[in-house]
Amino acid sequence: MSTPQARRKTRTDAERNRDRVLEAARALFAESGYDVQMSEVARVAGVGIGTLYRKFPTREALIEAIAEHRAADIIAAARRLTEADDPAQGLARFLHHVGEVLSDDRGMSEVVEKAMGSSEPREETREALLAIAAELIERAQARGTVGHGVTTADVNMIICGLAAVIRNAAGDWRRYIEVALDGLRPR
């Protein structure tokens, strides 16, 4: 059951290649979304397809590895913004941060749009983001800068819409956020 101790250290070239693959995949996914071909990833990484598959046994595994990593970044950065004094402003910054990330990463905008819909409680990224939103909303409501009917479900939809607007280049997403936030103000 336990790992065989008599194992050699992983070869250094293997490790180097793993990094290359991750790097290439991250770039390609950000550039054109997750419908990039595995062979393309390998080519850009300067690696054979076989190697790519040794590192990530499945296309999905590769995508997941990267999306997870990216998501963690978003969440961490967002959590930092929570600590600002003005919670309403915090919410604004939070959304702008998400927008900033998504507009630089097509792949993420695809993932986020879908993730905000998945009703599975297992969707950690969404849970984390909404947890942050929950705190901000509550604090803002206490100050009367956000309406009382507002819930995380609202933020959920707003983010889902935001992802769509960005992904389809449907307009100025900053303006979209402005409108949405105005919509959350107390009546």
* Residues near 3 by beta carbon (within 8 Å), at least 6 away in sequence: none
Q: Site for a second copy (CB under 8 A): which residue of 52, 66, 116, 133? A: 116
Is residue 161 close enough to count as binding a second copy by CB under 8 A? Answer: yes
Buried b (16+ CB within 10 A) or exposed e, 1-37: eeeeeeeeeeeeeeeebbebbbebbbebbbeebbebe
The one-letter code for the residue type at 126 is R
> Considering only 58-66, 80-88, 100-108, 178-186, which stretch makes contact with a second copy by CB under 8 A?
178-186
Q: Given 3-state DSSP classes, what are the helix, strand and coil percentages for the chain, each rounded to the nearest 5?
A: 70, 0, 30
Q: With helix as H, strand as E and coil as C, how does 21-70 read?
A: HHHHHHHHHHHHCCCCCHHHHHHHHCCCHHHHHHHCCCHHHHHHHHHHHH
| Chain residues that interact with DNA, rule: CB under 7 A | 7-14, 16-17, 37-39, 46-51, 53-55, 57-60
Picked from DNA, a second copy, none, the partner binding residue 10 (CB below 5 to 8 A depending on kind) is: DNA
Picked from DNA, a second copy, none, the partner binding residue 73 (CB below 5 to 8 A depending on kind) is: none
CB nearer to DNA: pick between 33 and 147? 33
Is residue 158 close enough to count as binding a second copy by CB under 8 A? Answer: yes
CB nearer to a second copy: pick between 21 and 108? 108
Picked from a second copy, DNA, none, the partner binding residue 180 (CB below 5 to 8 A depending on kind) is: a second copy
Binding residues for a second copy, total number by CB under 8 A: 35
* Distance, CA of 179 to CA of 170 (rounded, Å): 15
Which residues are near a second copy by CB under 8 A?
113-114, 116-119, 153-154, 156-158, 160-165, 167-173, 175-176, 178-185, 187
